[in-house]
């Protein structure tokens, strides 16, 4: 057996190449996670993790395994039973395949391997399903749920405000430091190091939000940390930890929807558009280079669409007067 036939050795080589290319810590972490998922699958199937054992059939069976056998969040300490289900979402499967495709394409182009076993393995169709958002009433109920007289409750309430007002991702928010906030000018800057796009962006905040952040920073004075969102022990809060707490708040608020941090981003984006906000400005706030991605994040409510149609339908201009609504009362 050749040393370079071992998948672990090949992954280490691939990983070192990507480190040298300047990939972000987030991307490198995703490479490690998605590679480990594949190795666990091989172990479950009794396949020795050697390059010589790989072909298209293996990867296609891996797709079937992810669709029909994996239990989502199995063993995850912050997930509830209702969040666990059989089969991964197509977008998750495609993301895991992307790492493997990137890895084996890189190794082949670097002439480290003689072939690319992922050639011809296609992604799953990923239809743009309507994303659920919170109603304004549900959002207000959710915000009222944390006990703001306690440190953890006030921190959670403030973090929700920052997520909604800044329309940011939970991974961006939980990694914010005091220096990222300009409380005097009501802005927060997402550094390139924590932004998913690896591009910094400065976001305006409403005074109500910066007032909460200012109070939280003052409350953090007992901790020796530059981060803003901390646990009771002074460590940066983990996004999965907050996700679990947010889900519990949803239960207490009697909201039947699946409550998670990204739902706040979806909801904030939808409310922004429904209130007449520009989609171009929303694109900048969300931090997307591709406008098509913005459309995936925003789903106007049926009621809003109906109201806009009532006001702006071309039929309003061409319909016979007798078919138009008549004014009968003052």
CATH number reported for the structural domain that contains residue 282 in this entry: 1.10.443.10
120 in a structural domain: no
Do 72 and 173 lie in a common domain?
Answer: no
Do 178 and 282 lie in a common domain?
Answer: yes
Do 152 and 232 lie in a common domain?
Answer: yes
116 in a structural domain: no
For residues 114 and 42, what is the distance between their CA atoms, to the nearest angstrom? 21
- Residue given tokens 């109920």 in the structure block: 141
Is residue 107 within 8 Å of 10, Cβ to Cβ? yes
Q: What are 71's two structure tokens? A: 């239990």
Note the pLDDT of residue 122.
93
For residues 72 and 87, what is the distance between their CA atoms, to the nearest angstrom? 7
Name, in order, each residue with C-beta under 8 angstroms of 125's C-beta and a sequence gap of 6 or more.
Answer: 90
For residues 311 and 324, what is the distance between their CA atoms, to the nearest angstrom? 13
Q: What are 271's two structure tokens? A: 């409310």
Do 301 and 159 lie in a common domain?
Answer: yes
119 in a structural domain: no
For residues 73 and 77, what is the distance between their CA atoms, to the nearest angstrom? 9
User: In terms of Cα–Cα distance, which of 168, 206, 171 is closest to 189?
Assistant: 168
Do 156 and 18 lie in a common domain?
Answer: no
Do 68 and 148 lie in a common domain?
Answer: no
∠ CA(287), CA(290), CA(294), 5° rounding?
65
Q: How far is CA 62 from CA 42, 44, 70, 227, 283, in A?
A: 9, 11, 10, 40, 35
Last residue of a domain, one of 109, 124, 155: 109
For residues 192 and 233, what is the distance between their CA atoms, to the nearest angstrom? 28
∠ CA(167), CA(170), CA(174), 5° rounding?
115
229 in a structural domain: yes
How many domains would you assign to the chain? 2
128 in a structural domain: no
For residue 193, the surrounding DSSP H or E stretch is: none
* Parent domain of 27: 3-109
Do 150 and 67 lie in a common domain?
Answer: no
Burial of 184 from C-beta contacts in 10 A (0-12 / 13-18 / 19+): exposed
Residues shown for the chain: 330
Do 56 and 177 lie in a common domain?
Answer: no
How does pLDDT run along the chain (330 residues), one tens digit per residue? 344 589 999 999 999 999 999 888 888 999 999 999 999 999 999 999 999 999 999 999 999 999 998 876 555 555 555 555 788 889 899 999 999 999 999 999 999 999 999 999 999 887 656 678 899 999 999 999 999 999 999 999 999 999 999 999 999 999 999 999 999 999 999 998 888 878 899 999 999 999 999 999 999 999 999 999 999 999 999 999 999 999 999 999 999 998 999 999 999 988 888 888 888 888 899 888 777 777 766 666 566 666 777 777 776 777 655 555 555 665
Do 89 and 192 lie in a common domain?
Answer: no
Phi, psi of 111 (to 5 degrees): 60, 30
127 in a structural domain: no
17 in a structural domain: yes
User: In terms of Cα–Cα distance, which of 163, 157, 158, 165 is closest to 141?
Assistant: 157
Do 159 and 86 lie in a common domain?
Answer: no
User: In terms of Cα–Cα distance, which of 251, 242, 255 is closest to 81?
Assistant: 251
Whole-model pTM: value is 0.69
Interstrand relation of 181-182 and 201-204 (parallel, antiparallel or unpaired): unpaired
Do 85 and 150 lie in a common domain?
Answer: no
167 in a structural domain: yes
Phi, psi of 269 (to 5 degrees): -65, -40
Do 66 and 199 lie in a common domain?
Answer: no
Give CB contacts under 8 A, 24+ apart, made by 139-143. Answer: 139/164, 139/267, 139/271, 141/253, 141/254, 141/255, 142/249, 142/250, 142/253, 142/255, 142/259
């Amino acid at each position: 057996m050749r040393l370079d036939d071992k998948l672990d050795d090949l992954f280490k080589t691939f990983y070192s190449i990507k480190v040298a290319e300047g990939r972000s810590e987030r991307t490198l972490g995703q490479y490690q996670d998605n590679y480990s998922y594949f190795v666990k699958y091989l172990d479950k199937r009794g396949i020795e993790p050697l390059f010589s054992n790989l072909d298209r059939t293996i990867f296609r069976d891996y797709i079937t395994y992810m669709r029909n056998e994996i239990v989502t969040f199995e063993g995850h300490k912050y997930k509830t039973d209702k969040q666990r289900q059989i089969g991964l979402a197509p977008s998750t499967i495609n993301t895991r395949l992307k790492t493997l495709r990137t890895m084996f394409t890189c190794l082949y182009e670097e002439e480290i391997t003689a072939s690319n076993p992922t050639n011809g393995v296609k992604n799953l169709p990923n239809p743009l399903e309507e994303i659920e958002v919170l109603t304004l009433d549900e959002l207000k109920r959710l915000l009222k749920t944390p006990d703001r007289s306690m440190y953890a409750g006030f921190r959670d309430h403030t973090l929700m405000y920052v997520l909604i007002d800044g329309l940011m991702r939970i991974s961006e928010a939980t990694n914010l430091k005091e220096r990222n906030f300009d409380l005097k000018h009501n802005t927060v800057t997402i550094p390139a190091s924590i932004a998913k796009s690896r591009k910094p962006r400065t976001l305006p905040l409403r005074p109500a939000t910066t007032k909460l952040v200012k109070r939280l920073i003052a409350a953090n004075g007992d901790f020796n940390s530059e981060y803003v969102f901390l646990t009771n022990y002074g460590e940066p809060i983990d996004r999965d930890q907050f996700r679990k707490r947010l889900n519990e708040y949803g239960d207490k608020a009697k909201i039947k929807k699946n409550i998670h941090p990204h739902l706040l981003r979806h909801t904030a984006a939808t409310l922004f558009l429904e209130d007449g906000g520009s989609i171009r400005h929303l694109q900048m706030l969300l931090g997307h280079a591709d406008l098509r991605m913005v459309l995936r994040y925003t789903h106007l409510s049926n009621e809003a669409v109906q109201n806009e149609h009532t006001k702006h339908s071309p039929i309003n201009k061409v319909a016979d007067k007798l078919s138009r609504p008549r004014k009968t009362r003052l």
